[in-house]
Structure 1
Amino acid sequence: MDLPINPPLAPMLAKAVKTMPEGDLLYEPKWDGFRCIVFRDGDEVELSSRGERPLTRYFPELVDAVKRELPERCVVDGEIVLRQGQVLNFDMLQQRIHPAASRIRMLADTTPASFVAFDLLAVGDQALLDTPLGERRALLEALLADVRPPIHVTIASDSYETALRWFDEFEGAGLDGVIAKPRGITYEPDKRLMFKVKHERTCDCVVAGFRWHKSGPIVGSLLLGLYNDQGTLQHVGVAASFPMKRRAELVEELRPYRMDDLAGHPWEAWARQDEAAAADRMPGAVSRWSGKKDLSWVALRPDLVCEVAYEAMEGERFRHTARFRRWRPDRTPASCDYEQLEVPVAYDLDDVFGGNGARPGP
């Protein structure tokens, strides 16, 4: 591969902000997938992850699409996403990372991925890293005006009001929020020069266990649960963002609730590491993502309730680590159910893709 920019290349990043910024900005949906920079030099194609690791072998259908749809020699920044009906499904996308070649081929046929382009870093012999974003966007639209699925060009707008509407509407299609990009910035790898506004909601959860911190006998994370329609306490994720001093304090706060005998605990089966527990992604269960990581946990009487902030749900679980807000002694554990969660209104994903080569505007 002999391009004006060759892998590895770290992507430019965005810093989180609480409110939608205004100014000379280009707004785009924040896609919920794998960040990916595509390098194409004729028949040579490499898909590079945010961590500068190759994704090429996991998405053979995208390699074929890149050869068919993108310019002969180019470097394009974007996101690999997996569509299920009218929403994006990140959990199914994660399953595409598999060591077996036969499994990869089967998944490429049954759950094909898409690539959403949002920046052009090189074309032909011209590197564009020093070109302002507004000019790069115009070139991207011109070059990819006629691309066909599974390659897409993200919609974009220079309207603040449109960005606010997108933030409210697009979550129903499984998107993460909105990205705001200053038009005049050049492309600086690994620098946080853009802005991201992500969804955040709160709910009350039962604290039914904890894990020790890797550094020693202090609390690493709280294991959170919500009651489902059958009255079963379902593990929904963890809260783990605590200062070190607070982690030590939590050891004493949780001590009265610790259970030496798991009999009667709603997650008793999880300690046995049986197949059913592992399949249900329970605490302590080993997965292909955790490997040899110690996921052992300490059971607590399911009497404590805390309020946490979360960004989105992925099935029955929090999409990312939740953030502890406060204890809720006024809430009963039984009241911590899925009914309290705010469900985003469904949105047609075709409208979010917006047609390949969508132009900025309201």
Structure 2
Amino acid sequence: MRLPVMPPVAPMLARSVKDIPDVGHVEPKWDGFRTIVFRDGDEVELGSRNEKPLTRYFPELVEQIKAHTPDRCVLDGEIVIVEGDHLAWDALTNRIHPAASRVRLLAEQTPASLVAFDLLALGDEDLMGAPLRDRRRRLVDALGEAHSPVHVTPATADMDEAHRWFTQFEGAGLDGVVAKPLDGTYQPDKRAMFKVKHERTADCVVAGFRWHKTGGILGSLLLGLWDDEGHLQHVGVAASFPMARRAALIEELAPLRTDVGDHPWAQWADSDAHAGNRLPGAVSRWNATKDLSFEPLRPELVVEVAYDHMEGTRFRHTAQFRRWRPDRDPATCTYAQLETPVRFDLADVLGG
């Protein structure tokens, strides 16, 4: 492979802001695996945010990139999986599997798509020093003949439209928007863009905790919500606490510690029990040596947390602690309190 921009390249990043800045260019924020695509003829490499190749996990996408992109180019984009009218995060994470046979099977069952949003090189030309307005024009021209599963992300300079996208596109599984200065160059590993993500709050039952990896202090609170059938579903964790606070929380939670046999998640280690319920996992699918056992707590404590959006019946990302809710009855902490985004057909986003 001989390109003017060679792997590895760390992607340019975005910093969180509360409101969409008017900097001339706004795009949907795709919820997938960030990738830098390097193509030199029949050679294709999919770099990741941590600069480790993703190529072996998406063989079907490699072939589609060869069919729908210029012969020699470097693209910045997102690998996503589309199921119906929605992005499917769980299906995407399942694609990271060590067994080649499993990779081939999943490539057929849940094929991936590429959404490109920047052009770093074309032919022998390094474009990272060019302003975004030029890179965007070149990207649209370079992928003008591409079609599904290779897409160019929609973009707008209209702030009214950007705010509509922020609201509407969440219903298709996107988690916000990204604003990029039109005169900005491509800056690897620098937070030179702006992201605005959804934030909501929910009152959750604290049903357990995990120890910190250093031992002796709290690592994360395990959060639950009651479903319509009276099951306490594990919906995520809250884990961002100062170290001193982590130690104090262990003492504060001590009166609520109980035996797992009397707990709503008593079957957490039984793999069959996970089929119909969300329970804390016994083994991490990312790290088989990571212990995901937990210390059960009587489900009597309620906490308000902030979250961006849901992935099925759980929080997509780690929730953020906001405050304790001693005034709230744990039995009332149900899914009914959650705001449900209006469904929006993903094809309308990609068709933009």
- TM-score, normalised relative to structure 1: 0.95
Amino acid at match of 1:274: D
Quote how far apart the aligned CAs of 1:60 are: 1.1
Amino acid at match of 2:308: E
Q: Is the 8 A contact 2:223 2:235 kept in 1?
A: yes
1:267 to 2:258 alignment = no
Amino acid at match of 2:263: H
Partner SS for 2:105:
helix
Q: Is the 8 A contact 1:278 1:286 kept in 2?
A: no
Moved segments of 4+, more than 3 Å? 277-281
Partner SS for 1:216:
coil
Counterpart among 338, 345, 349 of residue 348 in structure 1: 345
Cα distance in 2 for partners of 1:143, 1:59 equals 22
Amino acid at match of 2:26: Y
Show the 5 A alignment for 1:55-204: 55-204=54-203
Match of 1:359 in 2: none
Cα distance in 2 for partners of 1:242, 1:277 equals 31
Quote how far apart the aligned CAs of 1:216 are: 2.8
Q: Is the 8 A contact 2:284 2:290 kept in 1?
A: no
Cα distance in 1 for partners of 2:335, 2:158 equals 35
Cα distance in 1 for partners of 2:238, 2:208 equals 11
Amino acid at match of 1:210: F
Quote how far apart the aligned CAs of 1:39 are: 0.5
Q: Is the 8 A contact 1:34 1:80 kept in 2?
A: yes
Amino acid at match of 1:269: Q
1:289 to 2:248 alignment = no
Match of 2:8 in 1: 8
Q: Is the 8 A contact 1:61 1:113 kept in 2?
A: yes
Quote how far apart the aligned CAs of 1:103 are: 1.5
Match of 2:230 in 1: 231
Cα distance in 1 for partners of 2:134, 2:280 equals 49
Partner SS for 2:66:
helix
Quote how far apart the aligned CAs of 1:19 are: 1.4
Q: Is the 8 A contact 1:81 1:93 kept in 2?
A: yes
Q: Is the 8 A contact 1:278 1:285 kept in 2?
A: no
Q: Is the 8 A contact 2:284 2:292 kept in 1?
A: no
How many pairs align?
351
Unaligned runs of 5+ in 1: 356-362
In the TM superposition, what whole-angstrom CA distance separates every residue of 1:62-99 from its partner, at most 9, and x where no partner exists? 11111111001000100000000000011101111111
Cα distance in 1 for partners of 2:270, 2:31 equals 32
Amino acid at match of 1:15: R
Cα distance in 1 for partners of 2:80, 2:209 equals 33
Quote how far apart the aligned CAs of 1:105 are: 1.4
Q: Is the 8 A contact 1:66 1:151 kept in 2?
A: yes
Q: Is the 8 A contact 2:235 2:278 kept in 1?
A: no
Cα distance in 1 for partners of 2:140, 2:153 equals 10
